[in-house]
Structure 1
Amino acid sequence: MAADYSKLLEGIRPNRLMLAAGDVVMRAGDKVAAIYAVETGRVALSRHGSVVHVADPGTLFGESGLFGETNPVDAVAMGPAVVLAYAQAQVLLHLRAHPDLNLAFSAYLARRLNAARARIELGKLRGAQDRVVAFLTQAGAAEGWIKLGQPLSHIAADIGLTHEAFYRTLRKLVDAGLLERQGRRGFWLKGDHA
């Protein structure tokens, strides 16, 4: 499946960066060179040593660099990774030349912003069950079957739970008849989740 952003940047040739664990993609305060897309692996974005986001395969990072002069965060490969670097000047020229793509890119960024806001609110919930149910609801599992696109251990970390607490909560929801599963990543929330 193609990444959500891929059609928007079609026609721009990225540089492919082959990274090992600990390799730096960009440093906070350095001049912006590009926006980046994770092809494989994961990249941790941090500010003053604290991780603020983890970019997974199929996602962009460094988008704010299109509108700034210096990088706001450090970006470091968490393990082996392949990252595509789209030169800032080329992306801006491409978006200026194609107003329809510019509008679509704005819509992409708005969806990412809404998802980030939802994750922040999810992180404010206290109980593991509340977080898991809220996450699955945001992902669409209350409306029908969904298939999650990333490992459950990554999701657990994203919502601020240990993987053990996340798996235990999933089991509890299944045992209570509130959640059905298909394979490792298929879910459907049912009934009252309180």
Structure 2
Amino acid sequence: MLKSLVRGGAAMILSRWPAWEPRAVRTAFGAFRGVEEKSLAALVHHSSTRRRSAKRNALSLNPAVLAILDHLVPSFRRTPEIHVVSRGSSRDAVGQFLRRPDVRRRFHAIGISTASVAIHANDMETDGAGCYTGGIRGNILLKFNRMDVMPEGAVFIGDDEDEIIFRRRGGKSGIRFVNWRRWKGEQQKY
């Protein structure tokens, strides 16, 4: 546990600078060395029932992002491609999250099939015996290179830090940015 806390803190500090971010991501994912795949699945599916009336999952959907999607999806002639681009979550964790029944229901309610969502995230290596090695397969996805995997004409939904990076890089041609922390609802122009 202490090792995970130290790695997490180091990753947060290192991720502030583009040159150090690959090291930050490797450090953060290194905290999963020796963790069983089924433990990650248990975390994704874990729910707390402190109050009898409300069941809360350990991981939940961002209601602001859902509100933005609910507003944007009807403006397209056909259901748009949805891409989840995450450098902080593993591809496996995002996939398991999207397959969770409550998440599927919420996406279905706004007209999106979670089975069609493309996932761009770091892929954790496994040792073949059901444990993560702490390594990452393939190229490392970073906050500074995420736009490279976004399709032309995408709407990038992110936070303040994402917006700073998006603007600093001059944006990517055809990608529009929506800051979910500042979303004002239907009157919002994007």
Do they fold alike, i.e. is TM over 0.5?
A: no
Give the TM-score of the pair, scaled to structure 2: 0.26
Determine which structure has the larger helix proportion and give its number: 2
Determine which structure has the larger strand proportion and give its number: 1
Give the TM-score of the pair, scaled to structure 1: 0.26
